[in-house]
Structure 1
């Protein structure tokens, strides 16, 4: 068993019952080919929650500082995470993300860039739109609904893929595409 699968197994037996995690819309994630899963971000537990509920392995970007601790950095690298420098254009991280998609894998993004302490959606950064426009990936919006309390279930809702054809044809900007993705995440939050 590789570290990713072992970690996923551990998260399922620990986090799933702890937060009463329910999953909706898994059939919206293609079984093969490049996929970008774009989710809202409300907790440090979001990456393992999305990772354990998705049927495919996900490659997440994580802030560079997390890789500085030797043990934690080793674990992150072995569960398909890769570093990104925050607050600046990180060409290496952008290249790595595009490579993940070229290889037909799943890239997990939190377009807000950082956690929302209130749970309200913040404006998404252009990075999600960049990857959507520069790849042939299917874009799947995801909403984590709840507040990580034990009082109510934590719902992970995967929406129908975002239609990219018109956006690409009219040469929409990366920010416009991110705004469309964020609107789909908003709808998921409001309709569950």
Structure 2
């Protein structure tokens, strides 16, 4: 049994006692192949919750400050996480992302870059779509809902995978990548709100 499986199992036991985790859209999860999992970000526990409910190992792109603590650095690195500098273009993080996807792995990213409370398309980072397109990878939008109060319900909504294959052989500008990243972000929030009419199905 791998270190990841041991930690995931232990975390699952603990977090399912603390929270009532509810998962929607399991049928939308690809069972194999490279994948970029993109989620909104509301709490530090988000990657743990997603790793618990997702059937495959997720290799998370995490803020570099986490790795400044030697114990946390050891733990996260052994779980497959790697650092990213959110303040500037981090070529190392992009290379690590592409390595994960080249090995047909699952890359976990928060497109907004940090925890947010409200939906804003301008928060989408252009590097998200760039990585997906360069790696020829599908994108799985995920929405997490909850306030993380003890014993409260945490809902996870998996949307339908986004296919950017029509862009694989083209050359895109930074603005075009930003627009595609906004499409990803809109799809994430649409998982929860499209039935309420707050966000339409058409991407802008």
* TM-score, scaled relative to structure 1: 0.92
Separation (CA, whole Å) in 2 of partners of 1:190 and 1:167: 27
Instruction: Tell me the CA shift for residue 163 of structure 1.
Output: 3.0
Instruction: Tell me the CA shift for residue 2 of structure 1.
Output: 2.0
Is 1:74 the counterpart of 2:74? The answer is: yes
Gaps of 5+ in 2: 196-204
Match of 1:148 in 2: 148
Is 1:139 the counterpart of 2:142? The answer is: no
Instruction: Tell me the CA shift for residue 165 of structure 1.
Output: 3.4
Separation (CA, whole Å) in 1 of partners of 2:64 and 2:16: 27
Separation (CA, whole Å) in 1 of partners of 2:130 and 2:160: 20
Gaps of 5+ in 1: none
Instruction: Tell me the CA shift for residue 124 of structure 1.
Output: 1.3
Match of 1:121 in 2: 119
Separation (CA, whole Å) in 2 of partners of 1:24 and 1:189: 10
Separation (CA, whole Å) in 1 of partners of 2:7 and 2:165: 36
Deviation sequence 1:150-181 (CA, Å, 0-9, x none) = 47521111110113234557755211111111
Separation (CA, whole Å) in 1 of partners of 2:119 and 2:171: 26
* TM-score, scaled relative to structure 2: 0.86
Q: 1:68 to 1:129 in 2, by over 3 A?
A: same
Match of 2:181 in 1: 178
Instruction: Please say which of residues 139-148 and 14-23 is displaced more in the overlay.
Output: 14-23
Q: 8 Å contact 2:17–2:151 — kept in the other structure?
A: no
Match of 1:26 in 2: 26
Q: 8 Å contact 1:133–1:174 — kept in the other structure?
A: no
Separation (CA, whole Å) in 2 of partners of 1:133 and 1:97: 12
Instruction: Tell me the CA shift for residue 183 of structure 1.
Output: 1.0
